Structure formats: structure tokens, C-alpha cells
Amino acid sequence: NPDRDGFVTVDACIMDENANIGSVAFLERIKHPISVARKVMEKTPHVMLVGIGAQQFAVAQGFPLEPQKLSVEAQKSYDNWLIKSEYKPVINIENSKNQTAFAPNKLENGNWNHDTIGMVAMDANGNLSGSCTTSGMGFKMRGRLGDSPIIGAGLYVDNEIGAATATGQGEDVIRICGAHLVVELMRQGLSPENACKKAVERIIKIKGAAAKDIQVGFIAINKQGEYGGYCIQKGFDFAVCYADDKNFMVPGKYII
Ligand code: ASP
């Protein structure tokens, strides 16, 4: 989905087992921001590039500049939104009626609303890494950044302990340094699921009654290869993929 001025801006970050990090934010007209984040990590002395500078870097690295035009689906979604132009954060509460494994989600109002891909991974040597990529909250203010490009908020990896990533209302993930918090809770001995749950509970405690209007979900994996997830509201499922092609969806546990 575009921002409220009709522009798609994308954010992403990546972190590997050696604590190498790369991030791009407020990037326009580049299709795969996570690949640009990886180039920031591998090819620059920096960890984060934003806006036009990130775009210039992407083009210099050989990424094609996509047309400004919205896709047919995104244009439909934007036209729908323009009818009311209501500036209210649109959250990722899934409509499980329309949900199929690995497919994006359509809301009851016809809008597509699942864009963030957060991944945490363990390789054949037991090393952990992760990535998080998004076009952000639908119809956000121009220039708004969420948690997804921010190391420690949308993603964190500590190869001795575990890795975590987030989706949902980025403002509230940033507020608690979400992914970093989940990893630190695992360091204290919590399972991935319980660490995600504690982080979600912290957001609910801060938000009080307003928590019912937002969605935040975390997934995590620890050094033993155990995984888990938790979210505020129902409907946030996550996918587990093994090297031998054993892939399945896990229904997200939730609090409200
Ligand atoms: N976390 C993303 C953001 O706030 C949005 C999402 O996960 O849907 O930009």
C-alpha cells in the first residue's frame, strides 16, 4: 500500500551471525529493499541509508528503477482509502476467512493489508540471521518510518542466543525496542514463545485500552532451533520452513 500521498516507500533491514547489519528506509521505486539493505551491509562502511541517497546507492548497485505508478491492486486500495482519507493507522489484523497458507491477506473492506515479511533463520551450521522488509503501514504520513528498518526494533540477532523479528504497528514495536527485547528475554532463559509473549504483554500494558485497536506480532528462534511467536490479536499465523522442504503454518497465539 502507498502512503497517504499515493507514494510507495519501502523499508528493510538485515542482520547476520557476525552482527553485520544493513538497512534502507524511505526508499522509493526499488522493488526488493532487502537486497539493497544487504548491499549496504556488504559494500558500505555504514549501516543505514535513507530516501534519495538509498535510491542512488541502489541504482549504482544495478537495481532497476521501477516506474512510479502503483500496481492495479495498490491503486484500487488507495482509491478506496481516498473516499474517506481517514488518517487512522491501518493494522495487520488478518481476515482469516480469506487466508491461505503463504498467501497475502485481503481485508473485509477489500484492501490488501499484509506486506511485512520478517524472517529469522538458522543455517546448517547452527548460525542465526534474519531480515525484515515492508512497505510499512498503509496510508502512513509521507516520511513516516516504522520498526521494520530499525535494528533492535523490527529485527535483532544474537548468534549466541537467538533471533527475533516483528510485524504490526511499528510505533509500538519501536517503543519497546521489540526484537531486541525478545532476544534479551531469551537470554534470561525464556523460550522463544514466552519471550514473544512477554514483549507483547509489555506493549499491552503501555497501551491499556487502546491495545485492542492495534496489532503487533513477534516471531523468534533460539540457538537450540526452538521457535515461537505471539501477537496481540487473533489471526497472525507464521510459516515454518525446514531445509528438507517440510513447510507448514503455525497459528499465532494471541492475548486479546
Ligand atoms: N511494522 C510495519 C510498520 O510499522 C508494518 C507491518 O508490519 O505491517 O511499518
**What is the SS3 string spanning the chain?**
CCCCCCCCCEEEEEECCCCCEEEEEEECCCCCHHHHHHHHHHHCCCCEEEHHHHHHHHHHCCCCCCCCCCCHHHHHHHHHHHHHCCCCCECCCCCHHHCCCCCCCECCCCCECCCCEEEEEECCCCCEEEEEEECCCECCCCCCCCCCCCECCCEEEECCCEEEEEEECHHHHHHCCHHHHHHHHHHCCCCHHHHHHHHHHHHHHHHHHHHHHCCEEEEEEECCCCEEEEECCCCCCEEEECCCCCEEEECCEECC
- DSSP 8-class letter at 96: G
Q: Model confidence over 109-140: pLDDT tens digits? A: 544 455 799 999 999 999 999 999 999 988 89
CA distance 155 to 251: 21
The bridge status of strand 128-134 relative to strand 155-158 is unpaired
Residue 108 has pLDDT above 60, yes or no: no
What is the pLDDT at residue 112? 45
Which of 9, 116, 133, 134 is catalytic? The answer is: 116
Nearest to 122 by CA among 242, 255, 14, 6: 242
167 CB less than 6 Å from ligand 1? Answer: yes
| Set of cell numbers at residue 157 | 540477532
146 CB less than 6 Å from ligand 1? Answer: yes
CA distance 19 to 151: 10
116 CB less than 6 Å from ligand 1? Answer: yes
H/E segment holding residue 160: none
Q: Determine what percent of the chain is predicted with pLDDT higher than 70.
A: 89
Identify the residue with better confidence: 104 or 160: 160
Confidence of residue 89 (pLDDT cuts 50, 70, 90): low
3-state helix, strand, coil in the chain (%, to 5): 30, 25, 45
Query: How far is the centre of ligand 1, averaged over its atoms, from the C-alpha of 26 (Å)?
Result: 13
Q: Model confidence over 189-237: pLDDT tens digits? A: 999 999 999 999 999 999 999 999 889 999 999 999 999 999 999 888 8
222 CB less than 6 Å from ligand 1? Answer: no
What is the pLDDT at residue 77? 86
What is the pLDDT at residue 138? 85
| Set of cell numbers at residue 228 | 515461537
What is the pLDDT at residue 135? 93
Confidence of residue 94 (pLDDT cuts 50, 70, 90): low
Confidence of residue 1 (pLDDT cuts 50, 70, 90): confident
Q: In the predicted model, what is the mean pLDDT of residues 22-44?
A: 98
CB 98 within 8 A of CB 112: no
Q: In the predicted model, what is the mean pLDDT of residues 163-177?
A: 96
What is the pLDDT at residue 236? 84
Residue 174 has pLDDT above 90, yes or no: yes
What is the pLDDT at residue 208? 97
Residue 74 has pLDDT above 60, yes or no: yes
Confidence of residue 95 (pLDDT cuts 50, 70, 90): very low
116 is catalytic: yes
Whole-prediction pTM value?
A: 0.92
Give the residue, out of 134, 145, 233, with the most ligand 1 atoms within 8 A of its beta carbon, to mutate for a pocket test: 134
CB 183 within 8 A of CB 164: yes
